[in-house]
A and B are shown apart, each in its own frame.
Chain A
């Protein structure tokens, strides 16, 4: 290959690859696998302790209200629906509708967290929390049930919270509209390529490219949101429906 001076700075053919939609999606899925295994470790503990103390678990679960769990399940399932509708709307170029669906998703996510918080607060109010006097008097299995309950639903709630943050950012990006987003992307492009020609080439197309990038971001955020939903789909019967 030529070792020419200067000429090396000309953008090679593949500079555009940083807007690789398939790659971005693959990356997101890989990240989701790490989330699966993160929760997987807790599910493993659950499996061991539940086989070891089946009756304690059943007894401890009577203190949880299946109604609260069911309502929260329905909330989260519906939020997944609005999430996927937001993606579908943006695919059809309907930005405002996408924003509205996204707002609905966030509202439902917040409702889920509020429910969760009041449930936790009630439990803690009744003295049911790790190392509480009430629990220490109970059996080992009940202590473990509550340890897992707080650990698993707590980590899940944390994920919902993070998801809300991500969705809020995406909502903000959508609200800025495709034009200004395009300009920002063009600026970034200039910085990367370091040449005027590239910037010119950029501004021509980046309006639609930025829109495409929003689409990818929204879809990836959606993937995360749905995964958090899937985790809950398993948590729900394992804690609320075993009494």
Chain B
């Protein structure tokens, strides 16, 4: 367990600078090293986030005052469609699994790589191909799609904008997601280190496992739905065309059969991140390990049963409405199991209020607002009132951005020293968190209020009495941007010039902390043997887990 203390020298043969092998750009875009692929995902995803954020800012700017401000109605339609498509398909769905799953999963189970390294690379190539197609769709054909990210039929079949290509882009991105999920399932089944039983898996691995099953079993439904939209547009099959007996509601069914479970593709990995970070900084074993592990699987399961709550006002049958409403409330149970266990983990812990932990607290707070507003909409009577209003927009941004987004930032801060082998300064990150948190609530809380008062979503114009709320929201978007910029600049500087990180800067107990930072190409010099559960601070002793970098 000798840890070379010499901080100035990074590992000569880390994955970032391996001796031999292909160097330069080709060494990256043709790599099969899961760590390099993770970084490829990190940079490409962050690039698209920047675009998505810019589009969101433009929308907020348009809504700063009633009437036309900077863009017209049809441009606004394109803006919210692109913002949705980019943020959903290019950011949150791949997000944590593709970046941190790829990097951390093999390390956490003591493997050398994922089960199918070349498939892993193919998955990233699919992601890039899909992204390029999505961007191409903006500038070719009949102009950027204006259907919203949901591509609802029959409008998506009739609009003259370039829906065909955009839908194909999403199809290719779905392939990338399926391949990642498939790879992770086989990896977890086949490549666990000696002694790593199922109940010794870190909880992040459990969350990735549940996520992977959803990716595998839900994404094909989206694939066929999108293929059908393409076939409708190209050959006019008529399956969703009411003029020929087609039922557009079936499009909605198929779409949400995927897209509701997809919500859990987005949030489950973030929950796994939280379950990693809390025990590390509470210096205490996780409370209710099995409950958290199984609640991930339960969420994956229930996620399939509730898609109809997106369609309560669509005209589907009353019977199905109350069935879906009832089932929707069930999802709250495993989510609450997690939140209670996280809270209990903190009890009597010796808490180190480090940046990742504070981001996790922000996650829990924002996710609870998102979750509880979600429950409100699960009730049929309330749903009819708030359906298609800004309330829904506020709700899912609290879940997706406040949940998955903050989870991703927490993951980045937690594993940053492992990935880049450098430490970042704490103070600017604390400031960034404060600004982000304030900006976030300024931006999205007014949406909840406005929606409750009757502001419809996806309108570029509004009644004068809504102006105060919209103004606050737009100002919030600027504050949020400042927070994001502080965080980005801090981390970019740290990645280049920060002090060298020791193998285990936080005193973590899972396997990724047992190798160098950044890890060598082969991950571990010797295949690690696992002798106990993760997060076992009792066995480790307080001294060994002394945190550094305070």
**Which residues of A are found within 8 Å of B219, using beta-carbon distances?**
34
Minimal Cβ-Cβ distance residue in A for B523: A12
Q: Are B221 and A140 in contact (CB under 8 A)?
A: no
**Chain B 221-246 residues near chain A, CB threshold 8 A:** 221, 223-225, 227-228, 231, 235-239, 244-246
| B503 close to A (CB within 8 Å) | yes
Alpha-carbon distance A22/B523, docked complex (angstroms) = 23
Residues facing B in A25-60 (CB within 8 A) are 26-27, 30-31, 33-42, 44-45, 48-49, 52-53
The distance from the CB of A130 to the nearest CB of chain B, in whole angstroms, is 5
Residue of chain B at shortest CB distance from A2: B525
Verify A27–B221 contact, CB threshold 8 A. Answer: no
Within 8 Å of chain B (Cβ to Cβ): is A23? yes
A158 and B12 CA atoms in complex are apart in Å by 50
Interface extent on B, as a size class? Answer: 35 or more
**Is there contact, CB below 8 Å, between B190 and A26?**
yes
**Given A9-B19, A13-B527, A23 contacting B221 (CB threshold 8 A):** no
Please tell me which stretch of A148-156, A166-174, A178-186 contacts chain B, meaning at least 4 of its Cβ atoms lie within 8 angstroms of it. A148-156
Chain B nearest CB from A22 CB (Å) reads 7
A136 touches B244 (CB 8 A): yes
Task: Tell me which residues across on chain A come within 8 A of B521, comparing CB atoms.
Answer: 8-9
Say yes or no: A144 contacts B223, CB within 8 Å: no
Contact between chains at B235 and A41 (CB < 8 Å): no
Confirm or deny: B337 has a beta carbon within 8 angstroms of a beta carbon on chain A: no
Of the stretches B1-9, B201-209, B278-286, B408-416, the one at the interface is: B1-9
The reply to whether A3 and B217 contact each other, CB–CB distance below 8 Å, is: no
**Interface: B515 (CB within 8 A):** yes
Q: Are B236 and A35 in contact (CB under 8 A)?
A: no
* Residue in contact with A45 in the complex, picked from B12, B117, B250, CB distance below 8 Å: B250
Residues of A in contact (CB 8 Å), total: 55
The answer to whether A133 has its CB under 8 Å from any CB of chain B is no
* Complex contact B3–A27 (CB within 8 A): no
Which residues from chain B contact A7 at a C-beta distance below 8 Å? 525
Residues of B within 8 A of A41 (CB): 220-221, 224-225, 228, 254, 257
**Cβ of B353 under 8 Å from chain A:** no
Q: Is the CB of B1 within 8 A of A1?
A: yes
Are A147 and B238 within 8 A (Cβ)? yes
* Closest chain B CB from A179 CB (angstroms): 23
Taking the closest CB of chain B, its distance from the CB of A42, in whole angstroms, is 6
Contact of B221 among A30, A37, A144 (CB under 8 A): A37
Q: CA–CA, A41 to B223, complex, Å? A: 9
Report the minimum CB–CB distance from B257 to chain A (whole Å): 8
B361 interfacial by beta-carbon distance below 8 Å: no
The answer to whether A201 has its CB under 8 Å from any CB of chain B is: no
Of the listed stretches B108-116, B365-373, B376-384, chain A binds B108-116
Check if B220 sits within 8 Å of A34, measured CB to CB: yes
Contact among A9, A27, A131, A150 with B522 in the assembled complex (CB-CB below 8 Å): A9
Which of B216, B239, B526 is close to A1, meaning CB atoms less than 8 Å apart?
A: B526
Residues of B near A208 (CB, < 8 A) are none
Q: Report the bound CA distance from A15 to B250 in whole Å.
A: 48
Is there a chain B Cβ closer than 8 Å to A4's Cβ? yes
In-complex Cβ contact of B525 among A8, A22, A141, A155 (8 A): A8
A39 to B221, CA, bound (A): 8
B247 at the A/B interface (Cβ < 8 Å)? yes
Closest to B519 in A: A8
Interface status of A233 (Cβ within 8 A of chain B):
no
Determine whether A125 belongs to the interface, using a CB cutoff of 8 Å to chain B: no
Nearest neighbor of A140 in chain B, beta-carbon distance: B245
Quick check: which of B143-151, B181-189, B474-482 contacts chain A, the rest being far away? B181-189
Q: Give the distance to chain A from B11, nearest Cβ to Cβ, in Å.
A: 7
Tell me the residues in window 121-177 of chain A with beta carbons closer than 8 Å to chain B beta carbons. 130-131, 136, 139-141, 143-144, 147-148, 150-151, 154-155
For the complex, is B528 an interface residue (Cβ under 8 Å from A)? yes
Would you call A26 and B186 a contact (CB within 8 A)? yes
Q: Is B291 an interface residue (CB 8 A)?
A: no
> What's the Cα separation between A194 and B521 when bound, in Å?
11
Is A5 in contact with B12, judged by CB distance below 8 angstroms? yes
Indicate if A92 sits at the interface (CB-CB under 8 A): no
Q: Mostly helix, strand, loop or mixed at chain B's interface?
A: loop
Task: Give the secondary structure class of A's interface.
Answer: helix
Q: Which residues of B contact A9 (CB under 8 A)?
A: 13, 19, 520-522
A91 to B527, CA, bound (A): 33
CA separation between A142 and B429, bound complex, in Å? 63
CA distance A130 to B516 in the complex (A): 62
Q: In the complex the two chains form, is B522's CB within 8 Å of A130's CB? A: no
CB-based contact B220/A38 at 8 Å: yes
Q: Are B239 and A148 closer than 8 Å at their CB atoms?
A: yes
Q: A23 and B112: CB pair below 8 A?
A: no
Contact call B246/A144, Cβ cutoff below 8 A: yes
Q: Is the CB of A14 within 8 A of B239?
A: no
User: In the complex, are the beta carbons of A26 and B189 less than 8 A apart?
Assistant: yes
Distance (Å) between the CB of A131 and the closest chain B CB? Answer: 4
Tell me whether A11 and B522 are in contact (CB under 8 A): yes
Q: How far is the CB of A119 from chain B (nearest CB, A)?
A: 17
What is the bound-complex CA distance between A200 and B238, given in angstroms?
Answer: 61
**Whole-angstrom distance between the Cβ of A213 and the nearest chain B Cβ:** 13
Give A12 to B260 CA distance when docked, in angstroms.
42
Encoded as 1 (CB less than 8 Å from any A CB) or 0, chain B from 121 to 157 comes to 0000000000000000000000000000000000000
User: Which residues does chain A contribute within 8 Å of B224, judged by CB atoms?
Assistant: 37-42
Of B178, B236, B239, B245, the contact of A53 (CB 8 Å cutoff): B245
Q: CA separation between A39 and B223, bound complex, in Å?
A: 10
The B-contacting residues of A in range 185-226, CB under 8 angstroms, are 194
Q: Which residue of A lies closest to B528 (CB)?
A: A1
Q: How far is the CA of A5 from the CA of B10 in the complex (A)?
A: 10
In the bound complex, do residue A12 and residue B526 qualify as a contact, i.e. CB atoms below 8 Å apart? yes
Q: Which residues of B contact A42 (CB under 8 A)?
A: 224, 228
A130 and B221 in contact (CB under 8 A), knowing A8-B13, A143-B244?
Answer: no
Instruction: Pick from A8, A22, A30, A155: contact of B11, CB below 8 A.
Output: A8
Which of the residues A6, A23, A194 comes within 8 Å of B189, measured between beta carbons?
A23
Contact A37 B220 (CB under 8 A): yes
Q: For the complex formed, measure the closest distance between the CB of B540 and the CB atoms of chain A, giving whole angstroms.
A: 15
Q: A residues within 8 A CB of B186?
A: 23, 26-27, 30
Q: Complex Cα distance A4/B117, Å? A: 26
How far apart are the CA atoms of A140 and B178 in the complex, in Å? 35
The 10 closest A-B CB pairs, nearest first, are A140-B245, A41-B224, A147-B237, A37-B220, A8-B520, A38-B220, A23-B190, A131-B236, A143-B244, A34-B220
Instruction: Write 9 A-B pairs (CB below 8 A) sorted by A numbering.
Output: A1-B503, A15-B112, A23-B115, A26-B186, A31-B182, A33-B217, A48-B250, A148-B237, A194-B20
A: which residues have CB within 8 A of B?
A: 1-15, 17-18, 20, 22-23, 26-27, 30-31, 33-42, 44-45, 48-49, 52-53, 130-131, 136, 139-141, 143-144, 147-148, 150-151, 154-155, 194
Measuring CB to CB, which residues of chain B are less than 8 angstroms from any residue of chain A? 1-4, 11-13, 19-21, 111-113, 115-117, 119, 178, 182-183, 185-186, 189-191, 216-221, 223-225, 227-228, 231, 235-239, 244-247, 250, 254, 257, 503, 514-516, 520-528
